[in-house]
Amino acid sequence: MDERQCDLWGVARMRPARRGERIQLDEPFDLPPDVPLLVTVLPPETDGDRAVRTATARQALARAFGEDEPEYTLEDIKR
């Protein structure tokens, strides 16, 4: 997806440039007049953050799909 396009929920990810006290987008992006916006400021991601998120996802998958989870065939999925 082009970063300037909105996804299904109207979320667009863009990198702004800080120029003084206002947020100014580096790329053009059409916004309807008076549309409400939600801006989230994210801290820089570190390798440690990524490692924690990966470990958490693996633990969640292990809980969801146990050791005795059956193998699903294509026929099972088509039902």
3-state SS, residue 57: helix
In whole angstroms, give the CA distance from residue 28 to residue 4. 8
3-state SS, residue 51: helix
| The dihedral sign for the CA sequence 44, 28, 26, 31 | negative
Residues 12 and 3 sit within 8 Å (Cβ to Cβ)? yes
pLDDT in tens, 40-78: 777 787 888 889 989 999 999 888 887 787 888 888 888
Looking at residue 3, its pLDDT comes to 46
Question: Against a cut of 0.75, is the pTM above it?
Answer: no
In the chain, where are the structural domains located?
1-65
pLDDT in tens, 9-42: 567 776 766 667 777 777 888 878 887 777 777 7
